[in-house]
Amino acid sequence: MTALTLYPAVDVQNGQAVQLTQGVAGSEKVFGDPLTAAMRWQDAGAEWLHLVDLDAAFGRGSNAELIAAITARLSLDVELSGGIRDDASLDRALAAGCRRVNIGTAALENPEWCERIIAEHGDRIGIAIDVKGSKLAARGWVREGGDWAEAVDRLSAAGCTTFVVTDVKSDGMLTGPNLDLLRQVCARTDAEVIASGGIAQLDDLVALRGLVPDGVTGAIIGTALYIGNFTLEDALAVARG
């Protein structure tokens, strides 16, 4: 298989769809109603949506009711991220109807919990590997954790089936994905690897498609879609080959 699965992103902050630069609070560009954005990507042919509660990720609130309302209106699969750090937030996210939840900060702060929920929920749990240099980033990317490779090794051994890998330096920067980092992650795990950050043009998707044999199965696209660098329809055509 050489096709990539695309995950158009809808990041929600204060009830609005936004895009951040390098995950920095205050850098956001606002793009309006998140349900409208989600329906737009669904209507364009997306099979998955990457939905993020930024307020929950930064620990300053929650858009849980809005997230659940958006998910209820969609027929595609939803991958939900942001602020899922304990049983209560995990149960709320799973109850919202998403196909998979991504765990970020908790993977750094409570790996034993991550191992338990992977055992309980299987492929409904993904792990977000947000990388600054050789270190993991946490709490909305404002703190640094341990070595990313150690986290991948440990959680792969626990049975994690999906890692979402973001090079924080490239996120929202339209500088291209970090192919070397993705290759390094793929070399350490048999899990699916979803690329996030930096995708600016269709050629970036061609490059990522070339990593499918290594284990890259998908790509999250945000800013490039919102500012019109290409259409989702064209991106899907390239991703499918």
Query: What are the 10-residue block averages of pLDDT along the chain, 241 residues in total?
Result: 91 93 82 95 98 91 93 97 92 92 84 94 95 75 72 94 91 82 97 95 97 97 94 97 87
Catalytic residue flag (residue 153): no
Catalytic residue flag (residue 130): yes
pTM (2 d.p.): 0.93
List 53, 55, 130, 167, catalytic entry: 130
- Report the pLDDT value the prediction gives residue 173, as an integer from 0 to 100: 67
- Report the pLDDT value the prediction gives residue 141, as an integer from 0 to 100: 44
- Report the pLDDT value the prediction gives residue 144, as an integer from 0 to 100: 65
> Which residues lie closer than 8 Å to 222 by C-beta, 6 or more apart?
8, 9, 11, 19, 50, 172
- Report the pLDDT value the prediction gives residue 23, as an integer from 0 to 100: 76
List 11, 55, 171, 204, catalytic entry: 11
- State the DSSP H helix or E strand holding residue 72, giving kind and residue range, or none if neither: helix 64-73
Burial class (CB in 10 A: 0-12, 13-18, 19+), 112: exposed
3-class secondary-structure state, position 217: strand
As beta bridge partners, residue 100 has 79
